[in-house]
Amino acid sequence: MVIDCTEIYTEVPSQLDKQKYTYSSYKHRNTLKGLVGVAPNGTITFLSNLYVGNTSDKNIVKHCGVLTSFLAGDLILADKEFLIQDLLPPGVLLNIPPFLMKAQFSSEEARQTVTIARARIHVERAIRRIKQYKILQLIPQNLRPYSSMIFQFVVF
C-alpha cells in the first residue's frame, strides 16, 4: 500500500481551543487531516477518519486502524515524514526515500528515490481526485461533526 496524509480546509472554529488544534502549521490554515492508502495500481484501498490539522502523520497511522490491514511480507511505501517503523506489525516492511546526509545522494540513493517517487505518484493522484469534490474544499463548521463520514462516503 502507498500511504500519504492530506489536509482538508475547515472554517475557523469560534472557540480558541478548537482553533489551536485544527491549525496546521504546514498549510497555515485550519484543517482536518486524513490518511489515504492506495494499491500500486492507484485504487483507493483505505481512508481514515479525519483528525484535527495539527495531528502528526505518525499519530494518524497509529490510531486510524490502517496497520490491521497488513500481514507479514507486505510493503508500505510512504514519504520521508512517515517514521513509523516502530509501529509496524512483525514482518511488514516500510520503504521511504533516503534522507540526504551529505552534499548529494549516491547513485543508489538517487535510484531508490526515483523508484519510490514513481510508486507514490499514485497516492498523489488519488488525493487530487478526492479534493476535486466541492464539499471537501472547505468543511463548514456545521458539517464538522460529519466530516469523516463525508470524506469517506464521497470517495467510496
What confidence tens digit (pLDDT) does each residue in 38-57 have? Answer: 998 889 999 999 999 999 99
Q: What is the structure's pLDDT at 100?
A: 60
Q: What is the structure's pLDDT at 150?
A: 93
* Burial state string for 74-87 with b = 16 or more CB within 10 A and e = fewer than 16: eebbbbeebebeee
Q: What is the structure's pLDDT at 99?
A: 64
- Higher pLDDT, residue 96 or 7: 7
CA angle 25, 110, 82 (to 5 degrees): 35
pLDDT for 65 beyond 80: yes
Distance CA 127, CA 5 (A): 9
pLDDT for 19 beyond 70: yes
CA quadruple 138, 139, 142, 143: dihedral positive or negative?
positive
What is the signed CA dihedral for 117, 118, 121, 123, rounded to 10 degrees?
-90
Question: 54, 47, 78, 26: which is closest to 150 by C-alpha?
Answer: 47
Mean of the pLDDT values across residues 9-35?
91
Phi, psi of 23 (to 5 degrees): -75, 125
Mean of the pLDDT values across residues 67-86?
92
Q: What is the structure's pLDDT at 98?
A: 64
pLDDT in tens, 124-155: 899 999 989 999 999 999 999 999 999 998 87
Q: What is the structure's pLDDT at 101?
A: 63
Cell numbers placing 11: 472554517
What is the pTM assigned to this prediction?
Answer: 0.87
Helix (H, G, I), strand (E, B), or coil: what is residue 95? strand
